[in-house]
Amino acid sequence: MNSEFLKTLECPMTGQRFVDPVIFASTGVTYEREAIQKWIDDHGGDFNYVLIPNKPIRDIIDALANV
């Protein structure tokens, strides 16, 4: 499988394959929920951040696990 494609299935914060990918709504970037939630807790201040489950990425990861 193409290594560039597989890189898209990794969290840019952790470098690890997604388990619970979410879209950080203000940027449109997908992160691992635990990593971005920690960042928000540490740096978020009083802002209300929106995290949206990234089901398409989750579905791809699930499908690859069954190959």
What per-residue confidence (pLDDT) applies to 1? 66
Question: How many domains does the chain fold into?
Answer: 1
Quick count: other Cβ atoms within 10 Å of Cβ 21?
24
Q: Band of the pLDDT at 2, cuts 50, 70, 90?
A: confident
Structural domain span for residue 28? 3-65
Say yes or no to pLDDT of 60 above 80. Answer: yes
| CA-atom Rg of the chain in angstroms | 13
Token pair recorded at residue 14: 């952790």
Looking up residue 38, the CATH number of its domain turns out to be 3.30.40.10
Kindly state the average pLDDT of the residues 35-61: 90
pLDDT over threshold 80, residue 32: yes
Contacts of 10 (CB under 8 A, 6+ apart): 16, 17, 18
From the number of C-beta atoms within 10 Å of its C-beta (0-12, 13-18, 19+), residue 61 rates as middle
Task: Flag whether the pTM goes above 0.85.
Answer: yes
